[in-house]
Structure 1
Amino acid sequence: MSEAFRDLTERVGFLHKVESANRIGAGQLKISPRAITFEMPVDDTVASELGMPSFPSGDQEVEIPAKLIFRDRYGFIGLGRCRYRSSTSSTFGDRPGSLKLEAEYAVEIGSMEQDYWSVNGLRSEIGGLAAWAGLSSVVTPPPETDSRGLIIEVSQTAKARDPISIGTDFGLKLYPHFSTQHSSTNGVYTIIEKTFVQTQTPQTIPWEKHVRVHQMVQDLVVIARWTQCGLRVHSANNIDHPIVKISTGEPLGEKWRDAIATWGGRGDWSTPMTIESNRPALFRLADVGAPGLRRWIEEYDSWTRIVGPLVTSRFQKHLPVEALLMQIAVSIEGLGHRIGLMTGRISNPTSSLSFPQYLDLIYQSLNCQITPVIYGSPDNGISSFPDFATWADAFNTAYKEAKHADHPLPDHVRAWVLAESGALLLRLWLAQEFGVAPARLDQNARYSA
């Protein structure tokens, strides 16, 4: 595996077609989680190889091959989900213009013949997953000191636990490991706990099917930690094209191909990959267990109406409080309708109840304490509500004020507090549904809003 893949973010080389291996042209490849782009001069020959009838201009829609290969002196890179981004025409006679292409992912490959556009396995890292999963531990024995009390010897042992097999049709595993950093200038040594999300299937499948499962795990971590957390694709595997020893052709164990993608699940390249260490979680992996996480993956599609708006609210920047309130209300309505169908209150999927009735259905089926939901925010001048009915009435009023133009706008602080407490109500119900004990929720809820 070439270290240059991650170290060299800007490379100059040739672009090739996948099917024929024909060379398209030469240019510069830039790779980062923010953007993967290839820019090159374009003449009639290059345009023809890309399947362009003419040089593109302006906002013209242009179709190019979705799969391309980049080659330079360091090796080969497969580029996936490629598309035309922009072009610049020349104003100096016969000098060619330039063309910029972008790709959604890049993966190091061993030769032009290797197919990594469908893969057996994919690994990613999710911010905060290692701590949430609790699969790693660092042990620091008491340091040895001299007669003056100065530390003269210190040792740390970082021990990753065995991977947890979750199962599902995607062979989901949580795979703990460590990375280290050393600053020779400042003499600082850092051990970083990490946990891969790993999917592996018997047959190769498109990247999109793998990454969707990784996002499902990301969503559950967000519901537990209630903060945005980044997702970064790390490596990919195709069992038909393993990494091998150059001298013998023997596969090098379980080593996978390095990969970088601009896809970050709910977030993007700027979403943080770390979570504040003092930010408590509503629940952890041990509270739902492997069965709960497996059920989360297997049933995910049926929960998207509830989970989608709820989790997305953590990633949207500069979201007006009215939009936040409505987004949480959409999730509440989705959950209330689902409970209505489960309990028989709604006999037909096309039937509905009123929004206050949905709130009451959620409350009546919740087994943990409601106090954290109705606590208000005394520090922000919002007093605790005396009971759930009063809180529900306040939420419904604020929701109607945000939704209907013939109503006055809700007070921003009050609306924000109600939206956050409505989100907590949803998180408590989902956590309970997927196996978290009510006592655990009672213990953690007041600190994890």
Structure 2
Amino acid sequence: MPNVLTRGTRRIGDFIDGDANTPEVKVTLERSDRGIGINISWSSPDSPYAGWFLGSRRLEIGAGGQPKTITPLPKRVIFHDSHGPVLLIRCWTQGFHANALGPGSGNLWAHAAVLGVGELKEFDRPHGLQTEISGLREWLGITSWAEEDRWLEGRTEYTLKSKAQPSIVIGAHSGVALEFRPGWGLKPAGADDERVLMDLLRCTTVSSTPLDWEDHLQVHRAIRDLLVVSRWWDESVVEVRAHRDDDPLTTMDGATHGDQWREVVVVNDERKPPPKGYRQHLITYSELGVTGLQSWLKLRDEFARAFDPVISSIDLRNTTAHTRLAHTGPGLEALGYLLLVRDGISEKKAAQSSLRERLERILMDLGTCLPFDGPTWVDRTVAVYNGIKHANRQAPDYVDVANTWRESVLAVRAWIAIELGVPAADVESRLGDDPQSAPLVRRSS
């Protein structure tokens, strides 16, 4: 078995935490639906490992009648077996079982596993991170395969060739250099006579100094958010590789040969499936280009308080329309407020503006591109949103709430498209075919 960590994998090997005072121990590394974790055992509460789990529950007294020092839980640990090393990063403990003054075992969990790393390097602060963002390759219109078929001597000859594609360099943002790296892959399928060809696109951030994992991910998620805004489809961001400058590609003679990107396994690696059938983008890469993407990243930072509640509402599954609108409403209020401030109004005066004034300010930038009447949307949103917030007002009808949430999200999406330079006529035309433009209607009894 190669050094892999697919779901359902269970491996037994050595445990390394970098502390010479901790004893050697065999542990079990497992990846399951619960996450990526190590089960570690101890024979008595005196064990340093027990202290990671028992904490203040330990009743130990050291020399001189003083409590023993509990060894702190390391942020990084290594698992090693015959298949190779696995570095577990951003670790925490949760769940244990122990007898009083006797043996026990506990679970040490990790946010991510870095395959092939046998030293306690700070991969929780990498210099580089690569992710796969669903829908990004198709949106960019890039493929690393060339297809050709021709009729030859009574038969059809089909040719599929890999081809090199240049990276799309976006530039510096938030302390990292951002680019999109196309590529291709080949892996075996379930049967021995099957192979899977992969058309890959890696979103890559690289920094001159190591950054926290989340600092890298913020930029990747910003790209994902643009795709969500564009066609209102839930997209995924999955970390797949990481790099550190102190972990170069090294041959057996000790010579280094440039950067080495390590395979990464994260707890949530679910890839969102593409929509069934054709679903048009409101914002196209051909319109934005590199300059437009740079503008989006700046806009995303400037209007984070407005965009976050709206974009994240797509992920509120199995909930009511009231919850979605209550979640999205603060984003609408923030967008209107930020626009008033950008117009030159003082923060104090903008903060005192009513919900109606904020919505009307948003509408000023949209003109007539919305697939519904703008002033009517303002009236209904004010009435419905305030009806949800204030118990002394009449509770709004469920269908009205659902339509208000739908139209409000659509208004924010349209505003972003206009702000990024998409012509208003194109926004109006595309929204006419957007599934979110279809109103919900009451079912006749």
Same fold (TM over 0.5): yes
Partner of 1:100: 107
> Deviation per CA, 1:208-232, whole angstroms, max 9, x where unpaired?
2112221222212211121211211
Provide the rounded CA distance (Å) in 2 between the counterparts of 1:45 and 1:15.
19
Partner of 2:328: 328
Provide the rounded CA distance (Å) in 1 between the counterparts of 2:270 and 2:158.
36
Alignment of 1:37-436 (within 5 A): 37-44=37-44, 47-49=47-49, 51-52=51-52, 54=54, 64-90=73-99, 94=102, 96-112=103-119, 114-136=121-143, 138-144=145-151, 147=154, 151-159=155-163, 161-168=165-172, 169-180=175-186, 183=189, 191-245=197-251, 247-251=252-256, 254-262=259-267, 268-270=268-270, 272-276=272-276, 278-346=278-346, 348=348, 351-366=351-366, 369-372=368-371, 374=372, 387-436=373-422
Provide the rounded CA distance (Å) in 2 between the counterparts of 1:308 and 1:231.
16
Amino acid of the structure 2 residue aligned with 1:166: I
- Deviation, 1:107, is 0.8
> Deviation per CA, 1:380-426, whole angstroms, max 9, x where unpaired?
xxxxxxx3212221222221222222334332233222211110110
Provide the rounded CA distance (Å) in 2 between the counterparts of 1:215 and 1:23.
41
Higher relative contact order, structure no. (Cα contacts within 8 Å, ≥ 6 residues apart): 1
- Deviation, 1:49, is 4.5
Provide the rounded CA distance (Å) in 1 between the counterparts of 2:137 and 2:215.
23
Q: Which runs of 5+ in 2 are unaligned?
A: 58-70, 437-445
Provide the rounded CA distance (Å) in 1 between the counterparts of 2:422 and 2:153.
49
Provide the rounded CA distance (Å) in 1 between the counterparts of 2:427 and 2:375.
21
Partner SS, residue 48 of structure 2:
helix
TM-score by length of 2: 0.84
- Say if 1:346 and 1:352, in contact at 8 Å, map to a contact too: no
Amino acid of the structure 2 residue aligned with 1:78: L
> Deviation per CA, 1:74-121, whole angstroms, max 9, x where unpaired?
222221111111012249x95x22201111111124432544232111
Provide the rounded CA distance (Å) in 2 between the counterparts of 1:137 and 1:53.
49
Provide the rounded CA distance (Å) in 2 between the counterparts of 1:40 and 1:348.
56
Provide the rounded CA distance (Å) in 2 between the counterparts of 1:76 and 1:283.
44
Provide the rounded CA distance (Å) in 2 between the counterparts of 1:213 and 1:278.
28
Partner of 2:3: 4
Partner SS, residue 16 of structure 2:
strand
Provide the rounded CA distance (Å) in 2 between the counterparts of 1:50 and 1:358.
56
Q: Which runs of 5+ in 1 are unaligned?
A: 263-267, 375-386
Partner of 2:441: none
Cα RMSD (Å)? 3.0
Distance 1:420 1:44, change over 3 A: same
- Say if 2:188 and 2:195, in contact at 8 Å, map to a contact too: yes
Provide the rounded CA distance (Å) in 1 between the counterparts of 2:266 and 2:259.
21
Provide the rounded CA distance (Å) in 1 between the counterparts of 2:193 and 2:237.
30
- Deviation, 1:35, is 1.1
Distance 1:46 1:11, change over 3 A: farther
Provide the rounded CA distance (Å) in 2 between the counterparts of 1:46 and 1:4.
34
Alignment of 1:6-21 (within 5 A): 6=5, 9-18=9-18, 20=20
> Deviation per CA, 1:168-192, whole angstroms, max 9, x where unpaired?
2201111122334665759776544
- Say if 1:366 and 1:429, in contact at 8 Å, map to a contact too: yes
Partner of 1:442: 428
Number of matched pairs: 419
- Say if 2:369 and 2:424, in contact at 8 Å, map to a contact too: no
- Say if 1:119 and 1:205, in contact at 8 Å, map to a contact too: yes
Provide the rounded CA distance (Å) in 1 between the counterparts of 2:191 and 2:387.
57
Provide the rounded CA distance (Å) in 1 between the counterparts of 2:415 and 2:228.
15
Q: Which moved more, 1:294-303 or 1:416-425?
A: 294-303
Provide the rounded CA distance (Å) in 1 between the counterparts of 2:91 and 2:277.
38
- Say if 2:283 and 2:417, in contact at 8 Å, map to a contact too: yes
- Deviation, 1:161, is 2.7
Distance 1:102 1:52, change over 3 A: closer
- Say if 2:30 and 2:38, in contact at 8 Å, map to a contact too: yes
